[in-house]
Amino acid sequence: MRRIGVVATAAAIGLALTACSGGGDGGGDGDEGGGGGTDVEVFTWWAAGSELTGLEALEAVFAEQHPDFTFVNGAVAGGAGSAAKDLLQTRLQAGDPPDTFQAHAGAELTDYIAAGQLEDVSDLYTEFGLTDAFPQDLIDLLTVDGNIYSVPSNIHRSNVVWANPTVLESAGIDPAAVPADIDAWIADLETVQATGVTALSVATTWTQVHLLETVLMADLGAEAYIGLWNGETDWTGAEVTGALEHFETLMSFTNTDRDGLDWPEATQMVIDGTAAYNVMGDWAVAAFEEQGVERGAGFVDFPVPGSDGQFGFLADSFTLPVGAPNPDGATAWLETVGSLEGQVAFNQAKGSIPARTDADPADFSEYQQSAIESYANDAIVPSLAHGAASPIAVLNAVSDATSKFTTGGSDLATYQQELAAAVG
Ligand code: GAL
């Protein structure tokens, strides 16, 4: 089975090496504040809630390591970059790039590279001692023709169910008993729905695509799921039809106001007990933790039924755009992003796991330790909704087809044809 990720054992991750070179002295190369001015515009979609808290944790390390530069928050609200990515494209095409922007490792990053919008930062890997800091398979996703185009900040898992144990218990479901597959889960969803609570919360289109990718993982298995992206699995085949039928059934258990919500509201429904389950990437854990909701008593998590043994992979990374107004400032930001101190602070707040392999798992929550273990041992499969599996244009076409389907504009056969055409 092809893995796009890394085989890094938890033990290897536990072998703490040295802290990053160069970071923490606040001095950089001595040029700070010169040339491009002191402002460093950091463009992300981490605009609110636990995502903003994560960004602020990184900002604090940046301020400590590079006090001569000023962090300027260029965040554009909208989960998964649903608004940010379009705006970014407009700015890049107008020759108005931010100093650095967030991009997903994998096909999404390759888009920007192919468009000539990113500088090669491989020299910085040497300068900051990053070459051995990240798993080789992750570096491969950031590399084109031997050049590396960004510095990863974190790794998230997409295929996670978050559930409210109190709601499950009131429906007579044992929160510790994880359904074996989507059919078994649907039986539980029916039981919950009969109690009058929203069984499964979801939000706007991108979260529906997120749900879809996890159902495809669960129903097809790792190898056939990966085949969807390398041409080996037929999008018009019966396996995909079965997964889409499951997706349709799952959507029938969701809240009707979904299209007006973003992920924090959908996850909040589980926190508040107005929904039993939510499928979301593990940035959701930061929302539970931020509100003091504890794993076990306040929430339970498990891989989307049927996808156990797979790690739905996505990684955020930061770039140096061609024409960045303050390349020195952006370079300083990239140094902080890649530093051990930056990765520990950021990921503790964000719910993700460090991309660096020398972070100590003991510094992270119980949930995150489980993600570190899954990343080390499971099949790594690329996320569709978060730029690992497909270029932005493909994701946009998948999103349009999904929105049409879930708002009643197409039937399942048409939806499947449109997905097949979108991926090409
Ligand atoms: C993903 C991103 C995560 C998280 C999520 C929700 O695309 O990689 O870091 O922010 O969107 O907005």
Q: Compute how many other C-beta atoms are within 10 angstroms of the C-beta atom of residue 25.
A: 9
* CA–CA distance, 58 with 52 (Å, rounded to integer): 10
Instruction: Compute the distance from residue 18 Cα to the ligand 1 centre, in Å.
Output: 29
pLDDT in tens, 234-248: 999 999 999 999 999
pLDDT in tens, 260-275: 999 999 999 999 999 9
Which one-letter amino acid corresponds to residue 261?
Answer: L
pLDDT at 348 over 80: yes
Res. 133 pLDDT band, cuts 50 70 90? very high
Instruction: Compute the distance from residue 170 Cα to the ligand 1 centre, in Å.
Output: 32
Structure tokens at 61: 């390390």
Please report the pLDDT score of residue 32 as a whole number. 52
* CA–CA distance, 350 with 51 (Å, rounded to integer): 6
Please report the pLDDT score of residue 3 as a whole number. 41
Instruction: Compute the distance from residue 210 Cα to the ligand 1 centre, in Å.
Output: 11
For ligand 1, mutation pick of 102, 104, 280, 283 (most atoms within 8 Å of CB): 283
pLDDT at 1 over 80: no
pLDDT at 25 over 50: no
Question: Number of structural domains, the chain?
Answer: 2
Indicate if 150 and 164 belong to the same structural domain: no
Q: Rounded mean pLDDT of the chain?
A: 92
Q: Is residue 17 part of a domain?
A: no
Res. 169 pLDDT band, cuts 50 70 90? very high
Please report the pLDDT score of residue 27 as a whole number. 36
Indicate if 355 and 283 belong to the same structural domain: no
Q: Is residue 8 part of a domain?
A: no
Residue 167 sits in which domain range? 160-306+391-423
Ligand 1 atom closest to 79 (CA): 12
Indicate if 355 and 253 belong to the same structural domain: no
* CA–CA distance, 246 with 218 (Å, rounded to integer): 10
Distances (CA, A) of 280 to 172, 213, 241: 24, 11, 23
Q: Is residue 363 part of a domain?
A: yes
Indicate if 345 and 251 belong to the same structural domain: no
Q: Check pocket membership of 282 for ligand 1, CB cut-off 6 A.
A: no
Could you tell me the CATH number of the domain that includes residue 276?
3.40.190.10
Which one-letter amino acid corresponds to residue 244?
Answer: L
Ligand 1 atom closest to 352 (CA): 9
Indicate if 260 and 396 belong to the same structural domain: yes
Domain end marker among 369, 399, 414: 369
* CA–CA distance, 281 with 4 (Å, rounded to integer): 18
Indicate if 72 and 127 belong to the same structural domain: yes
* CA–CA distance, 240 with 412 (Å, rounded to integer): 11
Res. 20 pLDDT band, cuts 50 70 90? very low
Q: Is residue 13 part of a domain?
A: no
* CA–CA distance, 197 with 180 (Å, rounded to integer): 22
Q: Compute how many other C-beta atoms are within 10 angstroms of the C-beta atom of residue 93.
A: 11
For ligand 1, mutation pick of 155, 316, 319 (most atoms within 8 Å of CB): 316
Indicate if 396 and 275 belong to the same structural domain: yes
Predicted TM-score (pTM) of the model is: 0.92
Q: Is residue 16 part of a domain?
A: no
Which range (13-27, 62-76, 286-300, 374-388) has the least confidence? 13-27
Q: Measured between alpha carbons, how far apart are the two ends of the chain, in Å? A: 23
Distances (CA, A) of 132 to 5, 7, 377, 419: 15, 15, 20, 39
Indicate if 174 and 281 belong to the same structural domain: yes
Indicate if 284 and 408 belong to the same structural domain: yes
Q: Is residue 173 part of a domain?
A: yes
Instruction: Compute the distance from residue 79 Cα to the ligand 1 centre, in Å.
Output: 6
Indicate if 189 and 251 belong to the same structural domain: yes
Res. 33 pLDDT band, cuts 50 70 90? very low
Indicate if 279 and 340 belong to the same structural domain: no
Q: Is residue 81 part of a domain?
A: yes
Please report the pLDDT score of residue 354 as a whole number. 98
pLDDT in tens, 288-344: 999 999 999 999 999 999 999 999 999 999 999 999 999 999 999 999 999 999 999
Which one-letter amino acid corresponds to residue 258?
Answer: R
Residue 106 contacts residue 382 (beta carbons within 8 Å)? yes
Indicate if 253 and 166 belong to the same structural domain: yes
Ligand 1 atom closest to 385 (CA): 7
Of 186, 72, 152, the closest CA to residue 347 belongs to 152
Nearest residue by C-alpha to atom 12 in ligand 1? 79
Instruction: Compute the distance from residue 266 Cα to the ligand 1 centre, in Å.
Output: 15
Instruction: Compute the distance from residue 204 Cα to the ligand 1 centre, in Å.
Output: 14
Q: Check pocket membership of 80 for ligand 1, CB cut-off 6 A.
A: yes
Residue 51 contacts residue 350 (beta carbons within 8 Å)? yes
Which one-letter amino acid corresponds to residue 155?
Answer: I
pLDDT in tens, 60-101: 999 999 999 999 999 999 999 999 999 999 999 999 999 999
Which range (19-28, 172-181, 257-266, 280-289) has the least confidence? 19-28
Q: Is residue 9 part of a domain?
A: no
Q: Check pocket membership of 386 for ligand 1, CB cut-off 6 A.
A: yes
Q: Please name every residue paired with 300 in a beta bridge, in sequence order, or none if there are none.
A: 163
